[in-house]
A and B are shown apart, each in its own frame.
Chain A
Amino acid sequence: MKGLDKNGIAKRIAAELQDGYYVNLGIGIPTLIANFIPSGINVTLQSENGLLGMGPFPTEEQVDADLINAGKQTVTTLDGSAIFDSAMSFAMIRSGRVDLTVLGAMQVSEQGDIANWKIPGKMVKGMGGAMDLVAGADNIIVAMTHTNRKGDSKLLKSCTLPLTGTNCIKKVVTNLGVFEIKEGAFVLLEKAPGISIDEIAQSTEGKLHADQNVPEIIF
């Protein structure tokens, strides 16, 4: 993969975290962000199956089948954690209490639409909580590779896959750079180290606004 690896994408998104944030991290690259929370700030992780204040994986002795995250992994609680039912969990999400949501995606459009749950002709597993998360949160960052395995751009004029939500994504971090979605275009905010604007333009099907002097991502 050109540019950043998965950990690099996670590390860059971790730089967006602020002290006091409640954050929901999706499965895949977003999960890695928990490993890069900047020191000196306090961030509370929300897991939509009903846990606020998600701790690290348990030790062998701590494993509890009754304590898992939304990815069905065994986890722990922390001092200050709270447990609640699924309706209350999505009440937090829809009412905008969660400050930041980070999701993976298969496609994002220049209008801020996202597709990440269904590929026609393939087994449909379901949307889980993704549609509620994108409809409820104000601050959503998509973490994904810039192109798919075939090399096709995932930053598009309009999504071709079934949508998860419309007009809801404001920021995308890929292996090639950091993009803000604004007025129907992907605005390049930072490029990945060693990546040229030409390379980014070639891999971006949607409208791209890129200043020649755009800075590189600094960790």
Chain B
Amino acid sequence: MSKVVENANQAIKGIESGMTLMLGGFGLCGIPENTISALAASEVKDLTCISNNAGVDDFGIGLMLQNKQVKKMISSYVGENQEFERQLLSGELEVDLIPQGTLAERIRATGAGIPAFFTPAGYGTEVAENKEIREFDGKNYILEYSFKSDFAIVKAWKGDTAGNLIFKGTARNFNPMMAMAGKITIAEVEELVPAGELDPNFIHIPGIFVNTIFQGTDYEKRIEQRTVRNS
């Protein structure tokens, strides 16, 4: 059975209102642009989105927020989005803020078959409220659980028809762990090649974790803070 589909519209078949999605990216770096655009143009709504950030007003997950397709965001930092703030203050949108390392590890645990783990992050803060605390070697840790997600949507640099993925630069970020964590994982790649063209020694995510793959088009790769030096 082929994992390859033509485009994002084909890839998102099966995503339904009310589902929980993981979406890769850090800020706007390494986000699955094509799939987000397809979702924003679709009728699905009441989504719970697990993603480190929530995009900006007119790009990334911000596009889905504009359409009021998101019911809840699970993120570590959401400061770059005015529509997000408006919906949050009006009560239209729920948000669950999680320390970034805990978020990453909860996603990793999901894909690794680990139901829960102890982490020191957030001990003694409101993040620890109503959570089990345990002491190991004199230090306190809080119990955190893995997620349940219906779809994971990731962006890679190169992929092959077997679903193997290679990431580039810091566009890697949350994408590899999310690729492992979806009940169904959709990968969009800049370059899709036949199986055999990628060196097996340099695969970041093996194809076993990827259900659907397609070559994206027209990547904008918007930069949030363009900082340069003179020479």
Please tell me if A51 contacts chain B, counting CB pairs below 8 Å.
yes
Contacts of B120 in A (CB 8 A): 94, 135-136
Please tell me if B18 contacts chain A, counting CB pairs below 8 Å.
no
Please tell me if A83 contacts chain B, counting CB pairs below 8 Å.
yes
Q: Mark A24-57, 1 if CB is under 8 A from B, else 0.
A: 0000000000000000000000011111000011
| Contact present for A58 and B229 (CB under 8 Å) | yes
Please give the distance in Å from B53's CB to the nearest CB on chain A: 8
| Contact present for B105 and A87 (CB under 8 Å) | yes
Please tell me which one of the listed residues A51, A71, A94, A167 contacts residue B225 in the complex, with CB atoms under 8 A apart.
Answer: A71
Please tell me which one of the listed residues B88, B125, B171, B229 contacts residue A66 in the complex, with CB atoms under 8 A apart.
Answer: B171
| Contact present for B125 and A166 (CB under 8 Å) | yes
Number of A-B contacts (CB under 8 A): 169
Which segment, of B2-10, B93-101, B208-216, faces chain A?
B93-101
Q: From known contacts A67-B170, A85-B174, A136-B120, infer whether A57 and B223 are also in contact, taking CB-CB under 8 Å.
A: no
Which segment, of A124-132, A142-150, A196-204, faces chain B?
A124-132
Interface size class of A (residues with CB under 8 A): 35 or more
| Contact present for B108 and A87 (CB under 8 Å) | yes
Please give the distance in Å from B218's CB to the nearest CB on chain A: 14
| Contact present for A68 and B125 (CB under 8 Å) | no
Please give the distance in Å from A190's CB to the nearest CB on chain B: 29
Cα distance, A135 to B123, chains bound together (Å) = 8
Please tell me if B206 contacts chain A, counting CB pairs below 8 Å.
no
Which segment, of A11-19, A157-165, A174-182, A207-215, faces chain B?
A157-165
Contacts of A166 in B (CB 8 A): 123-125
| Contact present for B177 and A86 (CB under 8 Å) | yes
Contacts of B88 in A (CB 8 A): 123
Contacts of A89 in B (CB 8 A): 101, 104
| Contact present for A72 and B29 (CB under 8 Å) | yes
Please tell me if B127 contacts chain A, counting CB pairs below 8 Å.
yes
Cα distance, A190 to B176, chains bound together (Å) = 46
- Which residues of B are at the interface with A, using a C-beta cutoff of 8 A? 26-30, 52, 75-79, 85, 88-89, 97, 99-105, 107-108, 119-127, 157, 168-177, 221-231
6 new A-B contacts at CB < 8 Å, known A59-B228, A89-B101, A132-B119: A49-B29, A63-B228, A66-B169, A67-B169, A73-B225, A75-B227
